[in-house]
Structure 1
Amino acid sequence: MTMPFAEVIGDPISQSKSPAIHRFWLEKLGIEADYRASRVSEADVADYLAERQADPDWRGCNVTMPLKQKVQPHLSSVEEPATSIGAVNTIYPAFDRLLAGTNTDAAGFLEPLTKHLQAPHLFRMARILGAGGAARAIAHALARENFTLVIAARRLEQAADLIASLPQTTQHHAVSLDHFAQTTDFAFDDRQGLLDLVINASPLGMRGKSPLVFDWSHAPPGAIAYDIVTDPLETDFLRAAREAGHETIDGLAMLIGQAAEAFRLFFGSPPPRQHDDELRALLTA
């Protein structure tokens, strides 16, 4: 007997926590469906989507590295904010099973910042470390929330290209990632009424990747440290931020937030977020 299912695709994919998240919610809601992980290479994208589109049990997929831009030519439509961001992380069969792509990373990233964003500020600034697919979603989300952005990348032209894609509501800045590696004696002004973020939106610091070198003398007093890396969950970046007295947000916050948006599209029901503490315990066991 078959049942409805959704999945996450990418290459590699075995490390993904998405199946555990969606299966947890499906069980809590008593929905007879499944969520899987499927390894799909760049060369296999077209065949994969054609096969899944023809499967009436398939409810859609989340898309991870390196496919967020590769899938777009094979979709019937790309919705906002994916169009502006230039990256798709969620695909679902819409009317007549035509494939639609969207992006839930932006909403997922903003979710744990909701209380901060509801307050008025004289000025908002975010230092974003990285300029890849996840950084694009984060930068577009923050630009719409009236942040001035400093985008730091190992390749300066990549940071500049990202800035050029943003809605020009304010002036943004591109710098080399090395800029933040050395200690600074910059004297920050009074941050009362300001909102400052320092975000690792790169794979640096992830298990098996190069370390992220960031000196916390570059962070204004009261800045919030946000790392989207989920393995390990307690990164050196967050540990050093906490030791320097900063509030921290870990990668599970964004991962669960973006999954919640996708779950609604796949299974037609909001996930039971009252169980987030239990879900976090499951994911970190």
Structure 2
Amino acid sequence: MTTPHPRAFVVGHPIAHSRSPLIHGHWLAEHGLAGTYERIDVPPDAFPAFVRGLREAGFAGGNVTIPHKEAAFRLAEVLTLRAERIGAVNTLWFEDGRLHGDNTDAPGFLAHLDASLGAAWPEATGVAGGRAALVLGAGGAARAILVGLLELGLPRLIVANRSAERAESLTALDPTRVTAIAWGSVPAHLPETGLLINTTALGMAGQDALALDLAPLPGEAAVADIVYVPLETPLLAAARARGLPAVDGLGMLLHQAVPGFARWFGRTPHVTPALRARIVADLEGHG
């Protein structure tokens, strides 16, 4: 009897916009692997049954996106420590007969910073030595990024959100290193910021721009935006105009996909210029 080819998926609601099939399809072709990666639209009320049926459907695992990440966290049988801290799962796989869950957004974001700024960016930006990493937004992406920065050992993290209560809730991740500030206080904290990260939808196509004067940022600071439509957000354009390194959101999407592919298909892929160019072309074709 022949072994069936590995099957993987991305599940969400809606899901038609997902670029994950393009990413994983590129890697399957690049490595000459037989396997499939498919989009599956599942409404929230049907998600638990979908997860319970994964093994019977022949899936090796898959990615989970909005609005199912918290539900996947509850349904996974084994969680990584990172997933436990974040409280959300975006990658599922079977191991030793059990369904495992991880959140790869945190390492994906950090890997993109390393690729964009060089591995010494914590020292170069000053965040290793006491300057703040300032995170705008308090949703799931902000939480994942904060956990990643905490794992990296950064001593000082600040989170700002229009809903102060949501920002305050994130200080529980590490009350000694994470501080919440009011949204209106962001400009006053820029002079002490070495890394500014936008995790809000501001600047995304169809949304208002993030209105923030970057003049107070130190000359060594870096600016990152997890928005990737458009690739060059007004925030990143303002950073480049000031001569600061600007890190777009596409790399996080590409790098977070690496661990899952390795789990399902048995090969660790690389984020290459060719892959990035392919996704950029697709984004522009649908713009």
Range of TM-score over shorter length: 0.7 to 0.9
State the shift of 1:122 in Å. 2.4
Number of the residue aligned with 2:129:
122
Number of the residue aligned with 2:158:
150
In 1, Cα distance between equivalents of 2:149 and 2:131: 9
Matched AA of 2:18: S
Q: What SS is found at the alignment partner of 1:205?
A: coil
In 2, Cα distance between equivalents of 1:187 and 1:110: 21
1:281 has 2:277 as partner: yes
Give the direction of change, closer, same or farther, for the CA distance of 1:41–1:211 in structure 2 (3 Å limit): farther
Deviations 1:125-167 (A, max 9, x none): 2110111111111001112223211101111010110111x13
1:167 has 2:174 as partner: yes
In 1, Cα distance between equivalents of 2:179 and 2:64: 29
On the 8 A contact 1:124/1:146 being kept in 2, the answer is no
Give the direction of change, closer, same or farther, for the CA distance of 1:262–1:218 in structure 2 (3 Å limit): farther
Give the direction of change, closer, same or farther, for the CA distance of 1:135–1:118 in structure 2 (3 Å limit): closer
State the shift of 1:218 in Å. 4.5
Deviations 1:49-92 (A, max 9, x none): 12222122x12111111211122222212112101111111111
On the 8 A contact 2:6/2:264 being kept in 1, the answer is no
State the shift of 1:124 in Å. 4.1
Give the direction of change, closer, same or farther, for the CA distance of 1:213–1:132 in structure 2 (3 Å limit): same
State the shift of 1:187 in Å. 9.1
Number of the residue aligned with 1:80:
81
Q: What SS is found at the alignment partner of 2:253?
A: helix
Matched AA of 2:43: S
In 1, Cα distance between equivalents of 2:78 and 2:31: 30
Determine which structure has the larger helix proportion and give its number. Answer: 2
On the 8 A contact 2:137/2:198 being kept in 1, the answer is yes
Unaligned runs of 5+ in 1: 190-194
In 1, Cα distance between equivalents of 2:268 and 2:24: 11
Matched AA of 1:155: S
In 2, Cα distance between equivalents of 1:43 and 1:210: 32
Correspondent of 2:257 among 256, 259, 272 = 259
Number of the residue aligned with 2:222:
224
In 1, Cα distance between equivalents of 2:240 and 2:77: 45
Deviations 1:66-119 (A, max 9, x none): 2111222222121121011111111112222x2111111111111133312575
Unaligned runs of 5+ in 2: 282-287
Number of the residue aligned with 1:65:
66
TM-score by structure 1 length?
A: 0.87
TM-score by structure 2 length?
A: 0.87
Matched AA of 2:165: E
In 1, Cα distance between equivalents of 2:207 and 2:65: 17
Q: What SS is found at the alignment partner of 1:28?
A: helix
State the shift of 1:11 in Å. 1.7
On the 8 A contact 2:7/2:37 being kept in 1, the answer is yes
Note the 1:1-285 alignment, pairs <5 A: 3-56=5-58, 58-96=59-97, 98-114=98-114, 115-117=119-121, 119=123, 121-147=128-154, 148-164=156-172, 166-168=173-175, 170-180=176-186, 188=191, 196-273=194-271, 276-285=272-281
Q: What SS is found at the alignment partner of 1:151?
A: strand
On the 8 A contact 1:29/1:272 being kept in 2, the answer is no
Give the direction of change, closer, same or farther, for the CA distance of 1:209–1:13 in structure 2 (3 Å limit): farther
RMSD of aligned alpha carbons: 2.2
Q: Give the percent of matched residue pairs that are identical in Structure 1 and Structure 2.
A: 37
